[in-house]
Structure 1
Amino acid sequence: MNLRLENAFEHLLFYTTLTMILQDFKPHPSLNEFVQCYRIVHFDFMQAKEPILKAYAPRPEVCLHFFLRERELVQLGGGPTTDYHFPVVLAGQQTSVINRYLLGKDFMTFNIAFQPTALFRLFGIPSFELTGRYLDAEAIFSSHIRFILEELQNATSYNQMTQIADRFITSLAGNTRKEMHRLDTVSRWMICSGGKVSLDYLSGEACLSSKQFIRKFFERTGVNPKTYLRIIRFTRAIHTKNAYPNKDWLQIALECGYFDYQHLVKEYKEFTHHTPTDFHLLESNSPEQRLGLTDEIYKSRARSALLPE
């Protein structure tokens, strides 16, 4: 069997034996300053009669989505539901919920969740220009991104996918447009802290005055640091409730750094336009819940904010 036929057979075997998956993978350690994780999503809804809704609440991440199979319809804010036809999407830092409807019956993506300031360092683009945006990745990464998509589509294992992503990020990291700043490290500490840290402490650790810290943080992450801390706390609350659905809301609120339950309710309404209970009713019908893929990933995410980097 020649090499091309052998690779084609391995590719076919991989895709015909795939099981459904929602899993985060670590990048190569040398890339930790740029990448939080790689995320592989494979949902099979062969029996579904209509697109499946996933309400994505804000998370502390900018994400590159490679659509390996099928696409999604997207509703940004209160706008119309749209099929953007982008094969690779760059989603900037969210500050409100995005409703995504999975198109097709066999949905698979490979995602790269960047560190807070990575895009600024890699491309020199002020991150506030990307905030809340859902962009054709070619506008930022050039047409080379389609070659990476093709490589991922032709991969014969999940491990090979992460290796392709490692090579891609390594090539970008070799041509960064902006030098590393102490603030870049501080922004990653914020995520690890679960959002329970003061701005005075953060600006001091970044060796900046409060005004300098706010200005530079906004430029490098796309939001002000207070908003970012709120998104981090809110994300932890969502992950905690998803992982431990029987835990009461007051306990979650206090564990995640809120003054009381009403404080948590206010954040849910601002970020998702729902009460905590109503939003988690939506979550209970999410693709991963319907397919039984949630137990380990939810608990892993709930623990992650408590772990050192």
Structure 2
Amino acid sequence: METFRFIQPSPILAPFVKHYWILETDGIAPVSERIIPTGFMQMIFHRGDKMKLSDNKLQPQSFICGQSAGFTDLASTGKVNMIVVVFHPFGAKAFFPMPMSEFYGIDVSISDLSDNSLNELKDRIYHEKDNNKAIALIESGLISRLRIFDNYNRKRITAVITAINLKHQSSITSLSEIACLSYKQFNRIFTEYVGANPKEFTRIIRFQRALYILQNTPDINITELAFDCGYYDQPHLIKEFKSFSGYTPYEYMAVCNPYSDYFS
């Protein structure tokens, strides 16, 4: 048996947290999934058995998952009971003082962070069996950590993310102009807030856009899909798809239904 649900954040956290999701299984049937880049950082709390990575290493009990430009396979090792906080692209920066680029491509165990309040929250979540109460604990913990952004930079990054979401392909130069920053300053500030540099992030969002179109128009011609998403040509789309998912678009649709975490 498997249960899965989304929970929306409170209004005060909604500008920074996209949603929470909870997955529970009884452990009878194994669970496996290929994790692909979504454009979001996440904070994950395992309250059941840990998940196993493709290299046979176990995920930490509770950890922060940074932006990623590759895929990995996960498999359950028993009962799954996990709560995941999904941040908006720049949202995690509101709660942590370090540059988000420090989490890029890795899972950082909360136990390894010198952060007493976060470690205390981790322990309380682990022992709280009621999902609604666990979400309330997370919300309370995040609100207590909510820092005041540099308002100018927050507005800049928000405007840039909006432009990336609306336009199929934006040059880094044009994005730096939207942010009213020099090319070098823009790269530094964007990477600090989002956790991936602008070039890498726009690649991820272009891939997520392709997934969203396939999700809604599964019979679209691949050449048309490449054009609609801003790829140079069909080989470019296929190369990027394989880089992010391990599959060509047709192979991907053969093994699972396309779904965009970012645009859905």
TM class by shorter-chain length?
0.7 to 0.9
* Stretches of structure 1 lacking an aligned partner (at least 5 in a row): 1-18, 285-293, 305-309
Q: What residue number does 1:81 align with?
A: 56
Cα distance, 1:120 vs structure 2 = 3.5
Shift in alpha-carbon separation, 1:43–1:264, aligned structure 2, 3 A? farther
Q: Which has the larger radius of gyration?
A: 1
Q: What residue number does 1:102 align with?
A: 76
Select which of 274, 285, 296 maps to 2:247. Answer: 274
Alignment partners' CA distance in 1, 2:140 and 2:164: 25
Q: What residue number does 2:189 align with?
A: 216
Shift in alpha-carbon separation, 1:28–1:194, aligned structure 2, 3 A? farther
Say whether the 8 Å CA contact 1:195–1:229 is kept in structure 2.
no
Alignment partners' CA distance in 1, 2:229 and 2:205: 9
Cα distance, 1:203 vs structure 2 = 1.8
Asked if residue 39 in structure 1 is aligned to residue 21 in structure 2, the reply is: yes
Shift in alpha-carbon separation, 1:37–1:136, aligned structure 2, 3 A? same
Give the alignment of 1:283-294 within 5 angstroms: 283=256
Q: Which moved more, 1:232-241 or 1:140-149?
A: 140-149
Select which of 160, 168, 176 maps to 1:203. Answer: 176
Q: What residue number does 1:30 align with?
A: 12
Alignment partners' CA distance in 1, 2:161 and 2:87: 11
Say whether the 8 Å CA contact 2:46–2:126 is kept in structure 1.
no
What is the identity, as a one-letter code, of the residue corresponding to 1:94?
S
Say whether the 8 Å CA contact 1:243–1:302 is kept in structure 2.
no
Q: What residue number does 2:49 align with?
A: 70
Count, aligned residues? 261
Per-residue deviation, residues 233-265 of structure 1 (Å, max 9, x unmatched): 112323443455444434433333334332210
Give the alignment of 1:202-281 within 5 angstroms: 202-242=175-215, 245-281=218-254
What is the identity, as a one-letter code, of the residue corresponding to 1:179?
D
Q: What residue number does 2:115 align with?
A: 142
Select which of 88, 113, 136 maps to 1:163. Answer: 136
Asked if residue 128 in structure 1 is aligned to residue 106 in structure 2, the reply is: no
Select which of 39, 42, 46 maps to 1:60. Answer: 39
Q: What residue number does 1:7 align with?
A: none
Q: In structure 2, the residue corresponding to 1:171 is in which secondary structure?
A: helix
Percentage identity across aligned positions? 24
Q: Which moved more, 1:188-197 or 1:94-103?
A: 188-197
Shift in alpha-carbon separation, 1:99–1:70, aligned structure 2, 3 A? same
Say whether the 8 Å CA contact 1:73–1:102 is kept in structure 2.
yes
